[in-house]
Amino acid sequence: MKIALGTDERTPLTDFVVEELRARGFDVELCGAQAPKACEWPDVAQEVAERVAQGLCDEGILFCWTGTGVSIAANKVPGIRAALCSDAQTAAGARRWNHANVLVMGLRLTSNQVAKEILDAWFNTPPEDKELEHVAKVAKIEQKYAVPRSQVKTSAPLRKTGKRLHNKKTSFSESRIQGKG
């Protein structure tokens, strides 16, 4: 099995997971900072998700500080079912009930031991066929909201002005975005 693994920050945890995957006999394709290639979290999420969606890799594993950002970004790629897993039970459920194809872990709180438990659950839990109906419903939602690239309208981009980030609708203090306010 070929696994695309990406992160925006190379850490002892990401190194541990790479070695753990290789020890289990997986072919690991490194993306982002693990490659090593400087990369921001949306970019590495897109790279890994596209590798999986295009069938170049069987599954993906992503990391960022909380895991939330890469989960959101990866799930924008059609056909990707990325699941942020903080424990083995969540990983097993994501595989069993959601047929998740991209595992996401946060760098902030995941220890090597917990990562190993998550990997065990992820790779030892088969998807349940009775859940295929639900996976198909999610695919229909994805198709319903798919918009041809030529018709994609982006919201007003955030722009930095002094100590605040603005768009036409909202204004956010940088300290609030960074969790300090």
Q: Please state, in angstroms and rounded to a whole number, the distance separating the CA atoms of residues 127 and 165.
A: 43
For the record, the structure tokens of 54 come out as 């295009």
Query: Residue 49: in which H helix or E strand, if any?
Result: helix 41-53
| Whether 70 contacts 62, CB under 8 Å | yes
Residues tagged active-site: 64
CA distances from 116 to 62, 65, 105 (A): 15, 18, 11
Q: Please state, in angstroms and rounded to a whole number, the distance separating the CA atoms of residues 47 and 73.
A: 10
**Cα 162 to the chain's mean position, in Å?**
32
Neighbours of 140 (CB within 10 A): 9
CA atoms within 13 A on the CB side of 51: 23
